[in-house]
């Protein structure tokens, strides 16, 4: 999918970067740098260096309970870290990702939860009605058609 109008520095890249997004919210040069294990900006901390309660660029599982992820801000661990950040920390998930070097595409859900969410998403896709086929539409309730259209428009976070 082309990323028209999306700017690296406004997504996962360092704020000063004005290049177009290539992939994972990054421009070509920043994407390559990150793929080589480098950092996004010479001034930014190296990946794995301390950042709040975690490490920069890394979402750590709770060593006591690996089914939970540690919040960089408060140090407590959560299964659905993204939900916790959105509810408890005022600046929200986007600011959290930027502040701790986490790509916009990185999952903030613990592995088991991520697997369940992916399963639920697949279930929803399996239940989708193909609204492009008119013969298919005739015997389908309108609310299901509307739901199908909403789901196909949605992009996962």
Does 83 contact Zn ion by CB under 5 A? no
Q: What x/- string results for residues 47 through 76 when contact with Zn ion is judged by CB under 5 A?
A: ------------------------x-xx--
The minimum distance between CB 71 and Zn ion, in angstroms, equals 3
Q: What x/- string results for residues 92 through 121 when contact with Zn ion is judged by CB under 5 A?
A: ------------------------------
- Counting residues that bind Zn ion (by CB under 5 A) gives 9
Q: What x/- string results for residues 10 through 49 when contact with Zn ion is judged by CB under 5 A?
A: ---x---x-x-------x--x-------------------
**CA-based end-to-end distance of the chain:** 15
The minimum distance between CB 82 and Zn ion, in angstroms, equals 11
Q: Please report, as ranges, the residues that interact with Zn ion according to CB under 5 A.
A: 8, 13, 17, 19, 27, 30, 71, 73-74
């Amino acid at each position: 999918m082309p990323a028209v109008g999306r700017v690296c520095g406004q997504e996962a890249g360092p704020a000063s970067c004005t290049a177009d997004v290539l992939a994972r919210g990054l421009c070509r040069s920043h994407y390559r740098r990150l793929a080589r294990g480098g950092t996004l900006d010479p001034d930014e901390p190296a990946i794995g260096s301390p950042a709040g309660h975690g490490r920069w660029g890394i979402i750590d599982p709770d060593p006591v309970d690996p089914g939970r992820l540690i919040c960089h801000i408060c140090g407590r661990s959560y299964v659905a870290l993204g939900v916790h950040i959105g509810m408890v920390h005022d600046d929200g998930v986007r600011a959290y990702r930027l502040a701790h070097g986490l790509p916009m595409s990185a999952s903030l859900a613990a592995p088991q939860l991520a697997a369940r969410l992916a399963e639920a998403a697949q279930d929803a896709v399996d239940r989708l009605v193909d609204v492009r086929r008119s013969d298919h539409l005739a015997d389908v309730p309108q609310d299901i058609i509307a739901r199908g259209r909403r789901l196909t428009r949605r992009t996962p976070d």
